[in-house]
Amino acid sequence: MSKPSTKKSILLLSHNFSPEPTGIGKYNGEMMDWLCKNGYNTTVITTFPYYPFWKVQAPYTNKWYKRERIEYPEQGMVMTIYRCPIYIPAFPTGAKRMVQDLLLWPVKLIVVLQQMLFKKKHDLLITIAPPFHLAHLAFFYRFFRGGKIYYHIQDLQIEAAQQLNILGSSKLFNLMYKIEKKILRSSDYVSTISEGMVKKVEEKVGRKVLFFPNWVDTAFFYPLDDRDVAKKRWDFKTDDQVCLYSGSIGEKQGLESIIYAAEILKDQPRIKFVIAGSGPYKTNLTDLAEAMGLSNVFFFPLQDKEHFNAFLNMSDLHLVIQKGNASDLVMPSKLTTILAVGGVSIVTAPHGTSLEQVINENNMGAVTTPDDICELATAIQTILTKNMDEMRQNARNYALKYLNIDNVMQIFLNDVGMQE
């Protein structure tokens, strides 16, 4: 890739950042690292890492602001990270998460003012939603210093909150939609992560929305030649058929479906269900499995990155589970990594969604109706009887072609006019 002719400066505003191991923080960290390695100075205004554990991770303390500087001597670039103190609810409800979003405004505004008054101008201002309203800090900066605003939507936060009944006030939702529409119209660029979400946002605001998918490091995540070794590493037998869910464990996923499917299939001792990750809903799942007396369900913590490739390769079948009312609003980022390791997936998604289209057209697994436990259990049983070699190869090929980070980021730079 050719380097930019001058050192462009990019500012990222987001609650989440590296070293958070999953979700938005993971992708933000990889994006800014890639930009520095490809000739761009970057600045990040964020929080201390807390997701998906919902507590600040050591060695960070969350007591005051912290500035970090990462140098890229080969490229002559620098990444500067400003971490702001954050309110973190131990049990994150919809209302508490809204309070978290609002409280970060004043603490981040201080750093934005510092950037305006004492630092060189940033050429591109990237804001990540959720939270949907963080873009107003970028508008504030642009009013005084200029620069283009790139508004990227990872989750359609308002729709998800409304459909999952997280908040009950229709007046409050109407106000949020009004604020969001103004943001969408005022940003220089708007993007999101799936074709289905692109269509939804374009219908909202009547403007072009860019496709900026979540990527995967296809060199770091890849299929292993001997998956049985990985099974033994996590104390499974080579003939066990491991069905894995790995990721954030929250209410919106509807992961109790896995527990109920495990109950239906409990008389098939080779089929093992693994739920790995962290989140506020995990206790509910462990209590449910214990109450049912299930011996075929296993809970694991979130795996370290250096072990994660082997952990994913251990699985015969990956479960990408979401509730029906959220399936086309939130494109699960975990799917990209699953495809990179050549994983075969069962995805819960309504008919006609982008998820269903991607899986079926490329023959990479199966799609079942959300919240239909019997259909899920039947699909698991059926697909485990098949030879999945072709589906595994299809998944890997799709990741190499469409989800490689170099391809995705070069398209992004072309879209914002920062590529030579």
Tokens linked to 216: 């995967």
Q: Provide the percentage of residues in the chain whose pLDDT is more than 70.
A: 95
Q: Which residue has the higher pLDDT, 5 or 31?
A: 31
Instruction: Flag whether pLDDT at 328 surpasses 60.
Output: no
Instruction: Flag whether pLDDT at 331 surpasses 90.
Output: no
Q: How far apart are CA 105 and CA 120, in angstroms?
A: 22
Residue 168: pLDDT band by 50, 70, 90 thresholds?
Answer: low
Given this model, what pLDDT does residue 166 score? 66
Residue 5: pLDDT band by 50, 70, 90 thresholds?
Answer: very low
Given this model, what pLDDT does residue 350 score? 85
Residue 157: pLDDT band by 50, 70, 90 thresholds?
Answer: confident
User: Is the CB of residue 44 less than 8 Å from the CB of residue 82?
Assistant: yes
Burial code (b: 16+ CB inside 10 Å, e: under 16) for 2-18 equals eeeeeebbbbbbbbbbb
For residue range 197-213, what is the model confidence (pLDDT) as tens digits? 898 899 999 999 999 99
Measured between its terminal Cα atoms, the distance across the chain in Å is: 9
Instruction: Flag whether pLDDT at 415 surpasses 50.
Output: yes
User: Is the CB of residue 80 less than 8 Å from the CB of residue 43?
Assistant: yes
Say which residues have a Cβ less than 8 Å from residue 99's Cβ, sequence separation at least 6: 87, 89
Instruction: Flag whether pLDDT at 164 surpasses 90.
Output: no
Q: Letter for the amino acid at 230?
A: A
Instruction: Flag whether pLDDT at 30 surpasses 80.
Output: yes
Q: Which residue has the higher pLDDT, 99 or 220?
A: 220
This prediction has a pTM of 0.80
276: β partners: 246, 300
Instruction: Flag whether pLDDT at 354 surpasses 90.
Output: no
Alpha helix ranges (H) inside 187-333: 195-205, 227-233, 256-264, 282-292, 305-313
pLDDT mean across residues, the chain: 91
For residue range 376-399, what is the model confidence (pLDDT) as tens digits? 999 999 999 999 999 999 999 999
